[in-house]
Amino acid sequence: MSDTILTANNIVLDTKLSSKEEAIRFVGGILYEQGYVESGYIDEMLKREEITSTYMGNFVAIPHGTDAAKKSVKETGLSIVTVPDGVDFGDGNTVKLLIGIAGKGNEHLEILSKIAIVCSEEENIDNILQAGTPDEVISIFNEVN
């Protein structure tokens, strides 16, 4: 994964979030603050969630914008947030690992593939949730080819 897609500045460990909307705004806010997206992208992330949940199982959600949001993406990037106490994503689903995605063109497909590989292993999710530094999280994603 490119060094500019996931940096230590894009990772927030051990935070508390009280709702799905707050969680999506938080991961989207990181993408915005780091210059990957325009501010309107966050609203498109919330719209995507209304269309279909971005909850993937294994305590993971991958909030991202709608197709219409593509124009709001400046460059491809990820944000990762761990919420050890979990946040309710509805339908009885608890999320402890949030991965916000902003993909330019079709770059998000490769990123989604890598995320799916990493998150298919419960051990990887546990390691991310227990990581003490953003660099530990980055190394877990970099181990996957």
Alpha-helical regions (H) of the chain = 20-33, 40-51, 107-119, 122-130, 134-142
Domains within the chain, CATH numbers bracketed: 8-142 (3.40.930.10)
First CA to last CA distance, the chain = 9
Residue 57 has pLDDT above 70, yes or no: yes
Q: The pTM is what?
A: 0.95
Q: CA–CA separation, 143 vs 139, rounded Å?
A: 6
Catalytic positions, written as ranges? 64
Return the pLDDT at 107.
78
Residue 1 has pLDDT above 70, yes or no: no
Residue-wise pLDDT for 87-143, tens only, equals 999 999 999 999 999 998 887 788 888 899 999 999 999 999 999 999 999 999 988
